[in-house]
Amino acid sequence: MSGAATVSSSEAHKLVWEGSVPLLIHLHDSEVTTLPPPPPALVLAPRLGYLPLLISQLKPYFSTTLPPGVDTLWFEYRGLPLKWYIPTGVLFDLLCVEPERPWNLTVHFRGYPSNLLLPCEGEDSVKWSFINSLKEAAYVTKGNCKNVMNMSQSDQVELWRSVLNGNLESYQRVSSKLKLGTFEDEYTENISAVSTASQQNSGEADAAAQVKSGRIPVRLYVWTVTEDFDDLESAPQIDNWDKISYINRPVEIQKEDGKYFSLNDAIKSLLPEYFPGSSFDNLGDASTKQSVGDEGENTCDPDSSSLPLENAEIKLVRIQGIEPCLEIPFSWVVNNLMNPEYFLHICVCLKVSEANALQ
């Protein structure tokens, strides 16, 4: 996506906050007790929001037809129960490789699959999960989550409300107090110089304080293919969460002289097993490996050491519904495309050999 640098920060934030996914939501057959069955509900879901929060919009469509019982809302896409704590936009980018508009989902109000999905008791559960992620992001960035723990009650309420209602102004007002900062490096200063002029919010300038630890909160969702696909329609369907590798690991900013740290660099640094040739390694002191010792203690295949390591190929990267050019400075991507809980969610498709595919 060329021209990213010409979009100012405030414009980018606005686009991200206004982003939404049109959903066509069908009530599951087993829960339809009237004839004719109710038509599906067409709902515009904010990308930055979460599916369970749609209950107030959905209930009126289906309440008259539901069987008796207590509502336990859950969604599925082609038989795959959806993890409610993943933002809606991320679910769409990940599971709908060829974007379907509207996105056809099935909703259930009964029979919650509690062996598969975490329990969700409505808005409170979603809010707790959001705040918990925010604390985690704070810990990653600052080494502690005191700023979140010490938020006043009214600030916490306002922060959550701003996410619920998609109110960017209100969000920026409260979140700037957290001083979670933005990622700055000398290469983004030229880009930000263009945008600072258009930012009226002094909170932004305040928040551009240094990121102490140099760690960026990232959630990576990786799926693999063993063959090239020419168009998105022929990409394989993800019908099982085991086919997705969820990597919740911070990116450690690494600088090389004369080169900026790109999105490509960041992704490869999180996947050293697929990009062994890469100069960045996020798994810590890789050189201080100790031998496992007692063979009986691990389940490693003794023949594994003879398999050659290979570079995988990045086939697709999606962030906030866009497929950014991989050479964009990672700092720009983080500052402009992260979610309100300060995590950057990245969906990646890798092409690998059969032996290394995620089954």
Partner 1 sequence: MDQKESVRDITPWDGTLSSSDFFSAACAFSEKWKRFNAFVPPWLWVPSRKHHLLSSHKEEGYLSLEGMCLIKSSEEQESCRSQTWKEESSISQEEEAVDNATLVQSSCDEVNHYDFHIVYSPSYRVPVLYFRSYHSDGQPLPFGEIEKDLPDHSAKIRSESKWTFITQEEHPYLNRPWYKLHPCGTSEWMKLLFHGDTALNKNGFVIEHYLVSWFSVIGQVVGLKIPLGMLETLSC
**Which residues contribute to the site for partner 1 (CB under 8 A)?**
83, 85, 114-119, 132, 135-136, 139-140, 143, 145, 217, 241-242, 245-246, 248-250, 272-273, 276, 283-290, 292-294, 297-301, 304-305, 307, 309, 355-356, 358
DSSP run (H or E) holding 46: strand 41-46
2 vs 287, beta carbon nearer partner 1: 287
Cα torsion 235, 238, 243, 246: sign? positive
Alpha-carbon distance of 123 to 54, in angstroms, equals 10
Closer CB to partner 1, 97 or 271, in the complex: 271
Least distance (Å) between residue 114 CB and partner 1: 7
In the complex with partner 1, the residue whose CB is nearer, 100 or 123, is: 123
Provide the token pair at 67.
């069987």
- Give 64 or 298: the residue with its C-beta nearer to partner 1: 298
Q: For 147-158, b where at least 16 C-beta lie within 10 A, e where not — what string?
A: bbeebeeebeeb
Name the minimum Å distance from CB 220 to partner 1. Answer: 11
Structure tokens at 88: 């809606």
Q: Which is nearer to partner 1, 186 or 285 (CB)?
A: 285
Instruction: Write down the residue that tokens 């389940």 correspond to.
Output: 299
Minimum distance, C-beta of residue 117 to partner 1, in the bound complex (Å): 7
Q: Which is nearer to partner 1, 13 or 345 (CB)?
A: 345
Rounded CA separation 240/229 (Å): 20
Residue 302: CB minimum distance to partner 1, A: 10
Q: Least separation, in Å, of the C-beta of 129 and partner 1?
A: 9
Could you tell me the smallest distance in angstroms from the CB atom of residue 34 to partner 1? 33
Closest by CA position to 207, among listed 260, 251, 141: 141
Euclidean distance between CA atoms 123 and 120, whole angstroms: 8
CB of 116 to partner 1, least distance (A): 7
Q: How far apart are the first and last CA of the chain?
A: 31
* Shortest Å, Cβ 143 to partner 1: 7
Contacts (Cβ under 8 Å, ≥6 apart) of 318: 93, 94, 346, 347, 348
Residue 17 or 85: the one with the smaller Cβ distance to partner 1 is: 85
Cβ proximity to partner 1: between 136 and 265 the closer is 136
| Cα-based angle 216, 222, 226 (whole degrees, multiple of 5) | 145
Q: Which of helix, strand or coil describes residue 40?
A: coil
According to DSSP, the residues that pair with 262 across neighbouring strands are 329
Residue 354 burial (10 A CB sphere; 0-12, 13-18, 19+):
exposed
**Using an 8 Å Cβ cutoff, are 218 and 344 in contact?**
yes
